[in-house]
Amino acid sequence: MAHLLIVEDDELLRDGLSAQLSQAGHQIDTAADGEAALESLEHQGFDGVVLDLGLPKLDGLEVLKRLRKTLPALPVLILTARDGVEDRVAGLNAGADDYLTKPFNGDELLARLQAMLRRASLPAFGTSGPVTHAAGPLRVDPIVPRAWLGGNAIELTQREWELLALLVRCTGQVVSREDVLAVWQSDAGEGGALASNALEVYVHRLRRKLADSGMNIRNIRGLGYMLETGQP
Ligand code: CA
C-alpha cells in the first residue's frame, strides 16, 4: 500500500481515480488545484503523486518544479492532454518520472504507478539521489525515463529508455536478447505481449535517435547488441 496524492481539477476524473486507486489498496488524498497540492505536500508524506498539468491557481508544471526543490526523489506521474507533446517533454525535463496521455486506461495508470513505485523503492538507488549512467556524449537517468545526448534531452518511451539504460550500463559488452526481455518483462509499463521482432524495432528507433552522435548499437550476430561510443 502506498500513500498517494492525486492532483486533478476535473472532479469526475479525480473521484474516479481516487476510487480505483483506493480499491487497489492505496491510501489516497486529493487536491483540486496547484496550491492545494503544494499545501498537502508540505504537510504530509506521500509515496507518489499523480499530477495533472492543466490546473487552476498554479499549473502542474510549476507544482512539479517547486516540489522537486524539497522532494527530489518523490515519484511523480504526470497526466497530459493528447496533443501535449511539448507539455510532456517539459514535464519530464522538470523531473516527472512517467506520464500518461489523456484519455487513459485505468489499468494502465495502475500498472505504471506500481512500476514507478517499485523503481523508487529499489535499494540500489536509495535516497541519495540518482546516479546517471554515461557513455560517450550520452547520459541516461537510471530511475526515470530520461536521457540526454550532449546535454539535449531525448524523448524516449519507457521501453526505449529501459533498453538504452541497459546498453549504456553494459557499454562495450554484448547485451543478449534475453537480458533485454528480462528487463522489459519485469516492468508493466507499455503493457501487452512483445512481438518477436519488437527488440529489432526498438533498436532501430534508438539508432535513429543516436544518429549523428558517433554512437552505434552494433548487432552481434547470434549474440545480441553492443553499444559503441565511437571513441577509441
Ligand atoms: Ca486539468
* Predicted confidence (pLDDT) per residue in 156-208, tens digit: 888 899 999 999 888 888 999 888 888 887 654 444 456 557 888 999 999 99
Residues 15, 19, 21, CA angle at the centre, nearest 5°?
115
Which pLDDT value is given to residue 193?
55
pLDDT over 50 at 108, yes or no: yes
Ligand 1 centroid – CA 14 distance (Å)? 10
DSSP state at residue 175: B
Ligand 1 centroid – CA 72 distance (Å)? 24
Instruction: Look up the pTM and report it.
Output: 0.55
What does DSSP say about strands 152-154 and 98-101: parallel, antiparallel, or unpaired? unpaired
Q: Which amino acid is at 202?
A: Y
Ligand 1 centroid – CA 37 distance (Å)? 13
Which pLDDT value is given to residue 71?
82
Ligand 1 centroid – CA 1 distance (Å)? 26
- Number of other residues whose CB lies within 10 A of the CB of residue 151: 7
Ligand 1 centroid – CA 60 distance (Å)? 9
Confidence of residue 7 (pLDDT cuts 50, 70, 90): very high
**Cis omega (within 30 of 0) on the bond before 142?**
no
Burial per residue of 25-56, b for 16 or more beta-carbon CB atoms within 10 angstroms, e otherwise? ebebbbbbbbebbbebbeeeebbbbbbbbbbe
Q: Residue 44: which H helix or E strand, with range?
A: none
Ligand 1 centroid – CA 34 distance (Å)? 10
pLDDT over 70 at 70, yes or no: yes
Ligand 1 centroid – CA 90 distance (Å)? 16
pLDDT over 70 at 2, yes or no: yes
Q: What does the alpha-carbon distance between residue 191 and residue 26 come to, in Å, rounded to a whole number?
A: 21
Tracing cell 547485451 back to the chain, one arrives at 175
Class of domain 133-228: mainly alpha
Domain 3-125 has CATH 3.40.50.2300: yes
Going from N- to C-terminal start, the domains of the chain cover 3-125, 133-228
Ligand 1 centroid – CA 214 distance (Å)? 42
Ligand 1 centroid – CA 52 distance (Å)? 6
Which pLDDT value is given to residue 57?
95
